[in-house]
Amino acid sequence: MKMRAAVLEEFGQPLVVQEIDIADPRPGEVLVKIHACGVCHTDLYTASGVDPSGYKDCVLGHEGAGVVEAIGEGVTSVKKGDHVVTLFSPECRKCENCLSGKTNICTAIRAQQGQGYLPDGTSRLSRNGKELRHFMGTSTFAEYTVMPEIALAKVNPEASMEAICLLACGATTGIAAALWKAKVEEGSTVAVFGCGMVGLGAVLGSQLSKASRIIAIDRSKERLELAKKYGATDTFVADENSVATVLELTKGVGVDYSFEATGLVSVMGQAVEAARMGWGLSTMLGVAGRGEKLEIIPRYLITGRTVQGGSFGGAKGRTHVPQLVDMYVDGKIDLDGFVSHKLTLDQVNDGFDLMKKHDGIRSVIVFD
Ligand SMILES: NC(=O)c1ccc[n+]([C@@H]2O[C@H](COP(=O)([O-])OP(=O)(O)OC[C@H]3O[C@@H](n4cnc5c(N)ncnc54)[C@H](O)[C@@H]3O)[C@@H](O)[C@H]2O)c1
Ligand SMILES: [Zn+2]
Ligand SMILES: [Zn+2]
């Protein structure tokens, strides 16, 4: 079948929106018609050529939501017409990691996905008979995608696709980190470093967990205003004294939970130092540059702080994303407030430009 898609042809150059071919789903796979897709940093990171593991030509995009159009042989968990959110982080429920119950990092299709292929080692995407590769197992900057059923979360069809596509990556990362990875307790104190979509999600997740104090820190005053909307009780503009300010706000002890959502290793260090002695738990969500190291004075650990991190905020895609969609439908989480710009597929490169200018939280591509 022919469809329009945004193809990464040259690193550092705009994506080229064009007509390409997509093949039918094979056993265990699903054809999804994409209705909405967020534009995320990871897409830009790969498109720019900075990511050393990046490859081309491929179709980018990984924050997708859509409707099942057709299923391959043996698919049982979704059927035609189901609404789904795409998962770059699958959940097979059969691999050693899934069965452990200790991690959301499913290993079922990891090796092939990392190379840009579906689990059987081939691609469903092509142009003029020449193979194009998939990206993050999702390739949602396109009218359709073919994905393994273990990488699709079946969700409440009442929810707006333009909002819930954000649960495919950024929004879930922050919210899940607070709710299920750090398990923020009622009445506790929290500091969130960085108030982009990931950090705002952590603020919101902490509010849902009934934290009594949520300190939001960012370089941008505008984003701090948004953080207040999402539940921050205290905000301040970040500087080299951010740790001292958090300590001042918490009677000198620091917070029960800190979250880092900037991708800067220096800020990760601040998040550790702002966590309290005895039980402070510091959760790293940002993706640092390759080869960068996080420095921690061991005394912070000996005196009872714990440091953890979480891909996708530790969320298990097929289990947790449908729950978050229901919370959105019930009015408990405001995803619409994260959508700053709506674009067409042809404007995908404008989405990257807006991100570079820090204009808005998220741009969402809406398909007809
Ligand atoms: N763990 C995951 O699976 C996962 C998923 C999505 C995104 N991420 C990563 O999370 C990070 C945040 O993503 P985002 O979409 O929210 O990005 P974003 O760029 O929208 O937000 C980052 C925020 O950090 C702020 N900031 C910069 N310097 C700061 C400082 N010194 N102190 C405090 N704040 C500072 C910026 O002003 C900005 O508002 C990125 O590194 C991204 O790659 C991780
Ligand atoms: Zn992302
Ligand atoms: Zn698994």
Q: Is the dihedral of CA 358, 168, 99, 183 positive or negative?
A: positive
Q: Both tokens of residue 266?
A: 């220096």
- Residue with CA closest to ligand 1 atom 37: 219
Atom of ligand 1 nearest to the CA of 170: 6
Query: Which of 218, 220, 225 gets mutated to test ligand 1 (max ligand atoms within 8 A of its CB)?
Result: 218
Atom of ligand 1 nearest to the CA of 193: 33
Q: Establish whether residue 224 lines the binding site of ligand 1, counting it when its CB lies within 6 angstroms of any ligand atom.
A: no
Residue 231 is predicted with a pLDDT of 97
Domain ranges in the chain with CATH number 3.40.50.720? 171-310
CA distances from 108 to 52, 89, 92 (A): 23, 10, 6
Taking the CA of 172 as reference, the closest ligand is 1
Torsion region of 154: left, alpha or beta (phi above 0 gives left; psi -120 to 50 gives alpha)? beta
**Beta-carbon count within 10 A of 210 CB:** 12
Query: 57 by DSSP, 3-state: which?
Result: coil
- Residue with CA closest to ligand 1 atom 24: 194
Q: Establish whether residue 200 lines the binding site of ligand 1, counting it when its CB lies within 6 angstroms of any ligand atom.
A: no
Residue 290 is predicted with a pLDDT of 84
> Rounded to two decimals, what is the model's pTM?
0.96
CA gyration radius for the chain?
Answer: 20
Domain ranges in the chain with CATH number 3.90.180.10? 2-168+335-366
HSE-CB at 200 with a 13 A cutoff on CA atoms is 27
- Residue with CA closest to ligand 1 atom 21: 196
Residue 276 is predicted with a pLDDT of 98
Q: Both tokens of residue 358?
A: 């820090």
Q: Which residues contact 199 (CB under 8 A, 6 or more apart)?
A: 174, 192, 193, 216, 218, 227, 259, 261, 262, 285
Query: Which of 198, 237, 364 gets mutated to test ligand 1 (max ligand atoms within 8 A of its CB)?
Result: 198
Q: Establish whether residue 148 lines the binding site of ligand 1, counting it when its CB lies within 6 angstroms of any ligand atom.
A: no
Looking at domain 171-310, what is its CATH homologous superfamily? NAD(P)-binding Rossmann-like Domain (3.40.50.720)
Taking each helix axis from N to C end, the angle separating 41-48 and 348-356, rounded to the nearest 10 degrees, works out to 100
Q: Establish whether residue 261 lines the binding site of ligand 1, counting it when its CB lies within 6 angstroms of any ligand atom.
A: yes
Which residue, chain included where needed, has tokens 């999702």?
A: 138
Q: Both tokens of residue 189?
A: 């104190």
Q: Which residues contact 360 (CB under 8 A, 6 or more apart)?
A: 340, 341, 354
- Residue with CA closest to ligand 1 atom 7: 170
Q: Give the end-to-end CA distance of the chain in Å, rounded to a whole number.
A: 17
User: 362-366 and 339-343: which strand pairing?
Assistant: parallel
Q: Establish whether residue 231 lines the binding site of ligand 1, counting it when its CB lies within 6 angstroms of any ligand atom.
A: no
Q: Establish whether residue 170 lines the binding site of ligand 1, counting it when its CB lies within 6 angstroms of any ligand atom.
A: yes
pLDDT, averaged in runs of 10, over the chain (368 residues): 98 97 98 98 93 93 98 98 98 97 95 95 97 98 98 98 97 98 98 97 98 98 96 97 98 98 97 98 93 96 97 97 98 95 98 94 94
**What are the residue numbers of the active site?**
40-42, 62-63, 92, 95, 98, 106, 110, 169, 362
Q: Establish whether residue 218 lines the binding site of ligand 1, counting it when its CB lies within 6 angstroms of any ligand atom.
A: yes
**Beta-carbon count within 10 A of 11 CB:** 14
Number of alpha helices (DSSP H) and beta strands (DSSP E) in the chain: 12, 18
Residue 368 is predicted with a pLDDT of 80
Class of the 2-168+335-366 domain? alpha beta
With beta carbons less than 8 A apart as the criterion, state whether 70 and 24 touch.
Answer: yes
Give every strand in the sheet of 130-132, ordered side by side: 58-59, 2-8, 16-22, 125-127, 130-132
Distance of CA 100 to the CA centre of its chain: 23
With beta carbons less than 8 A apart as the criterion, state whether 31 and 69 touch.
Answer: yes
Instruction: Tell me the CA–centroid distance for residue 41 and ligand 2, in Å.
Output: 6
Q: Establish whether residue 265 lines the binding site of ligand 1, counting it when its CB lies within 6 angstroms of any ligand atom.
A: no
Atom of ligand 1 nearest to the CA of 220: 37
Whole-angstrom Cα distance, residue 135 to residue 133?
7
Instruction: Tell me the CA–centroid distance for residue 340 and ligand 3, in Å.
Output: 34
Instruction: Tell me the CA–centroid distance for residue 245 and ligand 2, in Å.
Output: 30
With beta carbons less than 8 A apart as the criterion, state whether 159 and 299 touch.
Answer: no
Instruction: Tell me the CA–centroid distance for residue 315 and ligand 3, in Å.
Output: 13
Taking the CA of 37 as reference, the closest ligand is 2
